Amino acid sequence: MSKKDNHMTFSVGDCVQGDMGEYVIIKRVGVGRFGVVFACKKKETPGGIVDERNYVIKFPRQFKDAHRSISAECSVLRRCAQLNHVVQYIDRVKNEENLIRKRSRELYYPITERMDMDMYRYICKFQKQCKYADMSTVVDISRQLLNGLHEIHRMGFSHGDIKPENILILTRQGEKYPCVKYCDVGSFIRLSDQDTYKQSPLTTSSYRSIECVLMLKPYTTKTDVWSLGCTLFELATCQMLFDFYHTRDSCYSNDADDADDADDADDADDA
């Protein structure tokens, strides 16, 4: 393990220990504001069942808030493990370095199922082909996302940052429509915590509701509905409804080079 570009990096073949087994790092697949996403595979054990599935593990960048955010995301993913439209929790990796420094709280980083791409990349595919998504596909994806949002709200959470980059897509062989799931659950806000919910959600500017823009507190689940509406408009038209400039943080880059480019852009912004 080494440090580069202000976040932890791994080499192909490095191993990390989870609660349910050991995982081998395959490659880096994406980068965001707080974390870096790696593809991984469960390490084969002698006499054990071979698991050929690929997963992803999210590690934080090297600053305190990132560690807390990713660890909080791991906790929420475990609670939402039974939800159909939130990315599936698989396992977690403990931050052993955190224990060495004798901090009061243990930190964990999530391992989840691997999807094909995020919705931003999905929309970009249509833009490059000068096409639109089939309307029946838009309707089915909308249905899945609305059902998923209902599940999240019923669990007592608000997502807080719905946008194309935080929705993952998986195309399934033999299925007409793709499966879609919410990710980046570290932005989730507990609805029962009134003090927390008086704070502004992390919603990206182009998907921010009127009450967030005007700071009309306390915020409600309607903020999520607004953000989802903006996202579905973008899916149907391949254009942003409110086109404010913002940096795209993609959990699923086209390849490792895209993730490197995103890192370089972030470093330039920091400078």
Token pair of 233, please? 């408009």
Name the residue among 228, 241, 78, 234 with its Cα closest to residue 147. Answer: 228
Tens of pLDDT, residues 53-96: 889 999 887 666 777 788 888 989 999 999 999 999 999 998 87
- Please, are residues 125 and 133 in contact by the beta-carbon 8 Å criterion? no
CA count, 13 A, side-chain hemisphere, 208: 18
pLDDT > 50? residue 270: no
How far is CA 132 from each of CA 123, 142, 250, rounded to the nearest angstrom?
8, 15, 21
Please report the pLDDT score of residue 6 as a whole number. Answer: 47
Please report the pLDDT score of residue 251 as a whole number. Answer: 57
pLDDT > 70? residue 249: no
For 14, other C-beta atoms within 10 Å of its C-beta total 15
Q: Which residue has the tokens 């903006």?
A: 230
- Please, are residues 119 and 231 in contact by the beta-carbon 8 Å criterion? yes
Q: CA 217, CA 111: separation in Å to the nearest integer?
A: 34
Where residue 243 falls among pLDDT bands split at 50, 70, 90? confident
- Residue 121 DSSP symbol: H
Token pair of 53, please? 């599935």
Q: CA 159, CA 184: separation in Å to the nearest integer?
A: 9
Q: Which residue has the tokens 């149907």?
A: 236
Tens of pLDDT, residues 150-209: 999 999 888 988 999 999 999 988 899 999 999 988 778 887 765 555 555 666 788 988
Token pair of 32, please? 């965001």
Please report the pLDDT score of residue 211 as a whole number. Answer: 81
Please report the pLDDT score of residue 252 as a whole number. Answer: 60
Where residue 250 falls among pLDDT bands split at 50, 70, 90? low
What average pLDDT is seen over the chain? 80
pTM for this prediction: 0.81
